[in-house]
Amino acid sequence: MPLILLILKIYIKINISKVYKLIMKILAIQNRLGIGDTVMFLPYIKVISEKFNTPISLLVKKSSKADQFLNHTNYIDKIIILERDSSKADRHDGIIGSFRLAQELKKYKFDKVFIFNSSLRYNIVSRLSGIKEIYQYPLFKKKNQHITKQAFNLVKDKLNLSTNKDPQIEIDKNFETSIISKYNINKNDVNILLGIGGSGPTKRIPAETFLSVIKKITIVKNCKFFLATGKNYQEQIILNKIINSEFKDRCISLDELTIFETLPIIKNCSVSICNDTGFSHLSSALGVKTITLMADTPLIYGSYSSKMYPIIPDGETSVSHNTLGKDKINPDKIYNQLISIIS
């Protein structure tokens, strides 16, 4: 009888644990600015989701655009916008903003939080919101922090988990099918995404570089080019130079679409050629081999995924801020890498 009771006790404990995991609520805080900053943390968020068998909610800035590209990803739950802007006073700024944020998070009743930074502010906000289990980078050690190594150490040290997987974004299959049909994407063509925009002028490779690659590849392959960029005036100049070139019949501009609407198009491209822009991160996370043109950004932003193939300026052995190499990205190197991928 004691043995039967012991077995029954273990059985009940296991099932209670399973139920707890199903209803467990976990928050991840990622307060960096851009799309790429969010994408780079996805492997660590996913491994936490798998560990606790529950999707993870995110607290991210609006500029991350996470609500536009993670709304179909199964290991993500809610996307909560952190309203902080260094250029203006926002609702989550300052002491009052911190209390306001804590009150807003409190209603979600999170059990755990993973804070992907060393800020005391988010630690206090988490405590005020009633979160009992707080996992975070070492406090007050932001200086010279590697963008992904610290995240790796967090899940390794706190949960004994490790991951070397690439970021992964998911798309609803029906939505993907409808967009493929709408834009007549033919798998027999070589569909190439050109991510020609960039968050700053030093990251935007000249239109002439892209046109040189287009000219060479269309001699040997039947290609269609999808041009992804924003509405910035300088980005539009680059777009118009390409879209009004002799290759205009092969080019489709995506600048009128939301990021969400571009995802199925990107996923069904054969390859991508992108500046250091949000589209390079989205492309690689959708499983597309992506040639990253790294002119003026730390190389890690264009090489952290196995789907990324970085090209750096001629004469450089690496690249970082102030490399200022956009005019030294060699189109022949891009072409050779492109041929090696699609051949």
| pLDDT (tens digit per residue) in 47-85 | 999 999 999 999 999 999 999 999 999 999 999 999 987
> What's the Cα-to-Cα distance from 145 to each of 47, 90, 162, rounded to whole Å?
21, 26, 19
Select the highest-mean-pLDDT range: 2-11, 197-206, 324-333. Answer: 324-333
What pLDDT is attached to residue 141? 78
What pLDDT is attached to residue 11? 55
Q: Is the pLDDT of residue 227 over 90?
A: yes
Does the model's pTM come out above 0.85? yes
Residue 212: burial class (beta carbons within 10 Å; 0-12, 13-18, 19+): middle
Residues 133-185: tens digit of each pLDDT: 999 999 987 777 788 899 999 999 999 998 989 999 999 999 999 999 999 89
Q: Average per-residue pLDDT in the chain?
A: 92
What pLDDT is attached to residue 9? 57
C-alpha span between 258 and 265 (Å, rounded)? 12
Packed helices 207-220 and 233-243: angle between N→C axes, nearest 10 degrees: 30
pLDDT band at 199 (very low <50, low <70, confident <90, very high): confident
* Residue percentage of the chain with pLDDT more than 90: 84
C-alpha span between 188 and 201 (Å, rounded)? 35
Q: For residues 263-290, give the mean pLDDT.
A: 97
What pLDDT is attached to residue 18? 47
pLDDT band at 188 (very low <50, low <70, confident <90, very high): confident
pLDDT band at 7 (very low <50, low <70, confident <90, very high): low
Could you tell me which of 273, 340, 282 has the C-alpha nearest to residue 311? 273
